[in-house]
Each structure stands twice: as structure tokens, then as C-alpha cells.
Structure 1
Amino acid sequence: MDNINVSDPPARITTITSKKLSAKRAQTRIQAFLDDFENRNSTLKGGDKTVTVQLQKLNQALLDESQKRRKSAGEGR
């Protein structure tokens, strides 16, 4: 096993490119990732579910945002 110093902060990830996505498109991609991730890391294996829970919250927030935009666009007509 590697010697890991838990007092060291995690590595920072920096982007080198970015691409604009609609909330709906981002939500679709996150949902696909979550489905795949959960299939590979079933709860039977145990482990930390923190990342999964945070992605589920982000996914729900994007879905809510998309629904609010659709609703407000419909009221503006």
C-alpha cells in the first residue's frame, strides 16, 4: 500500500478547456454518469457514497432549474 499522508490536501483539478452546456444537457450527462458509476460501485461493495450523493444533488438542482425555466417561459407568452 502507498504511503498516503492524510494531512496533505487533495490534488487540484484545473480545466484546460470548457464548453457551454444547457442545464438540461448537463443534467442528462450527469445522470448517465451516475447510472454508470452506480452500476460499477454497487452498495454491496460498501465504500464512501459522498461523491454519489453530491452528484445526485447537482443533478436534481439542474433538473429543477430546467423545469423552472420551462415554466417561466410558458408564463411569459
Structure 2
Amino acid sequence: MTNSAPIEDVPIGGEVIRLGQFLKFAGLLDSGGHVKEAIINGYVVVNGEVDRRRGRQLQLGDIISFDGRRVRVCP
């Protein structure tokens, strides 16, 4: 899966964050309900692969794609 959108860096102020939390923190989605729906329906891509685990622990450098945007987890 390729995406030519620029990658936005999103500092999280730590080393790990859960996928559901990050989607809201980065401004990709605005509510827990929308996060849950997007993840369950396979609209969220982590490091090039669909991930349906809202509680997945993201690490620094992970790239999350959703709705035409790509964001990278940064310290």
C-alpha cells in the first residue's frame, strides 16, 4: 500500500501510546466512538498494514495512515 501524502510528525511526550489514544491526540478523529468504528472497519493503517487493535502499543517512529493523512509517532 503506497501513499504519497506527506508525513506529519506528532510528538507524544513519551515513548509509547495506544493506537486509539493517538488517533484522537493527533487530531485524526475526534471521539472514541469514531476511533472504534474506523479501527474495526479497517480504515486505519499502521506501518503499511491494516490494524484492528485499538489498544495496540505504538512505538516511536510508527507511521499511521487514515483518511489521506500520514502521521509519525515522535518523542
Higher strand share: 2
Verify same fold: TM over 0.5: no
Q: TM-score, normalised to structure 2's length?
A: 0.27
Higher helix share: 1
Structure whose CA Rg is larger: 1
Q: TM-score, normalised to structure 1's length?
A: 0.27
